[in-house]
Amino acid sequence: MPSPYLLDVDTGIDDALAVAWMATHPEVDLVAATSIFGNVNTRQAARNTCDLLALLGRGDVPVAAGPDAAMGRRLGEDAAFVHGVNGIGEVELPRAGRDPEADLTAAEMIVRKAREHEGELHIVAVGPLTNLGLALQLEPELPRLVGKVTTMGGNVLVPGTNSARLDANTANDIDAAALVYAADWDITMVGLDVTMRNVLHAEQRARLESDGNRAVSSIGEMLRFYFGFYETIFGSPQCALHDPLAAAIATGDIVPTVAPKLPTFVDVSDGPEQGSTVVDARTMWRGFDIEPEDANVRVVLECGEDFGALLTERLLEV
């Protein structure tokens, strides 16, 4: 039987890839999606999510929107220069027949689905962690109710994106991220150490854009904009696969080769490292054979598969 998942997104372009991965996966029961600001504002992220789900034939999946502001400090900003003003590369999707839930917030949706699927729900959060932070405040028993959590964010041995030490998702609500990583649940962090090393190439993007499926070709078209930004980073036509890689690790299609459980927290001080994800990786010198007593987060540091090729082939099967 498919397992229940909830996808928390700030639907920009790489989020669209994650939505497509989760919505069409044969072993995923996507019970809900929730939206948050980050790549775009929360309302636009919800609209993008609804429209994309409908185009993928999953208009039945309920979408609940989160707040317009961080629950704590926000050190980032919307990323139109990366994803376009509408978040999806200025591609216009057909309007879905279903709107975001009018009477249910994202945090309330998370708590509701956790209660409905007690001990089984896997939350995949690939945007700022505001909705999860608010859900933890709403229901202190949430870590017991949720089966697993996979997040996209953080960096251990590589530089950040928003600054030398800060990734975009954590930066957009550092206090929510601190709350989420401190909670007592089975949590895996998929960060820049692996997402910047798993890329989609130009020929793969072109295959998606030329596909006969409207949803897949639209994603291929969105990626043109994303490639434009990432060419300034990589110096060649390719893009990082942040959110879909986290989704693929959550579904078990990509199995990390190095993913130790390590002491992890977010620096909420007012110092120069404010907002950075601090991971104590000193056991690396013994091959991570030792799990520290205060280890609390499974941290993905390496995964050897060519995810760009796997993602392309999977989407072309939709």
Confidence (pLDDT) at 132? 98
- In the numeric block, which tokens belong to residue 51? 């429209």
- The verdict on pTM exceeding 0.95 is yes
Calculate mean pLDDT across residues 23-50: 98
Tens digits of residue pLDDT in 253-264: 999 999 999 999
Torsion of CA 58, 63, 68, 73, to 10 degrees: -90
Is the confidence at residue 181, as pLDDT, over 90? yes
Which amino acid, residue 124? V
Phi and psi for 288 in degrees, rounded to 5?
Answer: 60, 25
- Which of the four pLDDT bands, split at 50, 70 and 90, describes residue 51? very high
Confidence (pLDDT) at 88? 98
The sign of the torsion formed by the CA atoms of 252, 253, 254, 255 equals positive
- In the numeric block, which tokens belong to residue 105? 């917030």
Calculate mean pLDDT across residues 179-195: 98
Tens digits of residue pLDDT in 227-236: 999 999 999 9
**Catalytic site positions:** 10, 242
Kindly report the three-state secondary structure assignment for every residue of the chain. Answer: CCEEEEEEECCCHHHHHHHHHHHCCCCEEEEEEEECCCCCCHHHHHHHHHHHHHHCCCCCCCEEECCCCCCCCCCCCCCHHHHCCCCCCCCCCCCCCCCCCCCCCHHHHHHHHHHHCCCCCEEEECCCCHHHHHHHHHCCCHHHHCCEEEEECCCCCCCCCCCCCCCHHHHCCHHHHHHHHHCCCCEEEECHHHHCCCEEEHHHHHHHHCCCCHHHHHHHHHHHHHHHHHHHHHCCCEEECHHHHHHHHHHCCCCCCECCEECEEECCCCCCCCCCEEECCHHHHHCCCCCCCCCCEEEECECCCCHHHHHHHHHHCC
Query: Cβ distance 76 to 168 under 8 Å?
Result: yes
Is the confidence at residue 165, as pLDDT, over 90? no
Tens digits of residue pLDDT in 196-209: 999 999 999 999 99
Confidence (pLDDT) at 160? 92
Phi-psi region of 22 (alpha: psi -120 to 50; beta: other; left: phi over 0): alpha
In angstroms, what CA-CA distances link 25 with 20, 45, 47, 165, 265?
8, 21, 22, 34, 32
Calculate mean pLDDT across residues 82-87: 98
- Give the span between the Cα atoms of 87 and 90, in whole angstroms: 7
Confidence (pLDDT) at 209? 98
Can you give the C-alpha Rg of the chain in angstroms? Answer: 18
Confidence (pLDDT) at 300? 98
Is the confidence at residue 167, as pLDDT, over 90? yes
Tens digits of residue pLDDT in 251-302: 999 999 999 999 999 999 999 899 999 999 999 999 999 999 999 999 999 9
Is the confidence at residue 305, as pLDDT, over 90? no
